[in-house]
């Protein structure tokens, strides 16, 4: 969670205690309810739908490893009045909703591959976006196999769908939104394949290197001359470098291989052989922070943001650990954290970061 959000919560707690003292309980509860309703009705995140810029929001910068500060993999893009989500890791839906993003406008969910930390919250994204006003089908894009994932989640949520329609009425919870459409996207180990064109937005898919996990892809979003690339999970990838060429923003996964090797050895010394193997296995299909910086420089991107942070370490040493071996060259490099926003207005090279 962003430091500013923690600060906001502390300030809110102080305000609430002060209100209780000055107004009494019932009046204070009334004020809180009104504030929450106002926030639901309008927020800066809601306003992104009306804005002409390309917006990017980090709804999950963690991994499968437990992390108190981060949800698992998720990057949200707003362009042309619609919301697109790349990967839906556990916890990500909550991060997006707490920030006020208009999930009713979700026009597509893009899965990079089918590891659990990238798909685990697909059901909640479907249900919550429906409850928030999505009326049409849920479009889920991914490489071959996406139809199996969609079928399984849809079946798991079938009874919940029935309960909500029966309880709240078909008018409030339109049954058409319970339709999920799986789109198997073509891609190559070469130039990106256009998989979606919607007004000024073009989305392309390209192969990345996550062997032995196949298929695995990354996505590029181009909108009114601005662009963001999301790596998905990959070892350092020349194909990603090709497809990230000249992008404004690269959201790239990272894993610190040297630290994970130490973790593996420590597990072995304590006789925890399962974790010794797992923590060593993961070092061969991810990218180290400095490798990601090399790729960003090769591709000539403007700004590189680290995500999928492995290992998960407490906030105070997190930045130091992930940035200490990075030679950033000509690229702005920064550590991603849940809740970060990027605004890329058309007709400029400005990236507004909050």
Please answer whether residues 115 and 213 qualify as being in contact, where contact means their C-beta atoms are separated by less than 8 angstroms: yes
How many residues in the chain?
A: 354
SS3 305: strand
Closer residue to Zn ion in complex, CB, 55/115:
115
Report the distance separating Cα 181 and Cα 203, nearest Å. 17
CA 271, chain centre distance (Å): 35
In angstroms, what is the minimal distance from the CB of 310 to Zn ion?
8
The correct pick among 67, 87, 117, 241 for binding Zn ion (CB under 5 A) is 117
In angstroms, what is the minimal distance from the CB of 116 to Zn ion?
8
205-244 residues near Zn ion, rule: CB under 5 A: 233
Report the distance separating Cα 340 and Cα 333, nearest Å. 14
In the set 51, 52, 87, 117, the catalytic residue is: 117
Window contacting Zn ion (CB under 5 A); options: 114-122, 148-156, 176-184, 287-295: 114-122
Using CB under 5 A, count the residues that bind Zn ion.
Answer: 3
The answer to whether 252 contacts Zn ion (rule: CB under 5 A) is no
- Is 117 considered catalytic here? yes
Report the distance separating Cα 39 and Cα 97, nearest Å. 11
Closer residue to Zn ion in complex, CB, 233/338:
233
| Residue 135 DSSP label | -
The answer to whether 115 contacts Zn ion (rule: CB under 5 A) is yes
Sign of CA dihedral 232, 237, 240, 246: positive
Closer residue to Zn ion in complex, CB, 48/307:
307
Residue 158's alpha-carbon distances to 54, 119, 128, 179, in angstroms, are 34, 18, 14, 10
Window contacting Zn ion (CB under 5 A); options: 33-41, 113-121, 126-134, 189-197: 113-121
In the complex, the residues that contact Zn ion under the rule CB under 5 A are 115, 117, 233
- Active centre residues (catalytic): 117
């Amino acid at each position: 969670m962003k430091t500013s959000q923690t600060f906001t919560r502390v300030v809110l707690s102080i305000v609430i205690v002060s209100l209780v003292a000055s107004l009494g309980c019932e009046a204070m509860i009334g004020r809180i309810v009104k504030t929450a309703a106002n926030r639901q009705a309008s927020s800066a995140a809601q306003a992104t739908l009306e804005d002409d810029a390309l917006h990017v929001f980090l709804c999950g910068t963690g991994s499968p490893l437990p992390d108190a500060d981060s949800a698992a993999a998720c990057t949200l893009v707003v362009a042309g009045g619609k919301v697109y989500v790349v990967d839906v890791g556990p916890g990500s839906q909550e991060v997006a909703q707490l920030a006020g993003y208009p999930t009713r406008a979700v026009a597509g969910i893009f899965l990079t591959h089918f590891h659990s930390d990238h798909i685990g919250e697909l059901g909640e994204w479907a249900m919550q976006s429906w409850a928030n006003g999505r009326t049409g089908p849920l479009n889920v894009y991914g490489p071959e196999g996406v139809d199996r994932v969609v079928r399984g989640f849809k079946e798991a949520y079938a009874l919940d769908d029935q309960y909500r329609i029966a309880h709240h009425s078909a008018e409030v919870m339109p049954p058409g939104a319970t339709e999920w459409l799986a789109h198997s996207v073509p891609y190559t180990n070469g130039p990106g394949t256009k998989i979606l064109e919607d007004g000024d937005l073009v989305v392309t898919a390209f192969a990345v290197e996550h062997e032995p996990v196949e298929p695995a892809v990354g996505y590029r979003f181009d909108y009114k001359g601005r662009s963001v690339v999301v790596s998905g999970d990959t070892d350092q990838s020349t194909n990603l470098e090709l497809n990230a060429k000249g992008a404004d923003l690269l959201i790239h996964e990272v894993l610190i291989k040297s630290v994970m090797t130490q973790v593996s050895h420590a597990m072995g010394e304590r006789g925890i052989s399962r974790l010794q193997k797992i923590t060593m296995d993961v070092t061969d299909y991810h990218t180290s922070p400095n490798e990601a910086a090399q790729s960003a420089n090769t591709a000539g991107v403007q700004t590189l943001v680290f995500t999928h942070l492995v290992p998960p370490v407490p906030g105070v040493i997190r930045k130091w650990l992930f940035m200490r071996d990075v030679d950033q060259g000509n690229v702005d490099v920064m550590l991603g954290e849940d809740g970060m926003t990027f605004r890329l207005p058309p007709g400029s090279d400005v990236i507004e970061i909050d």
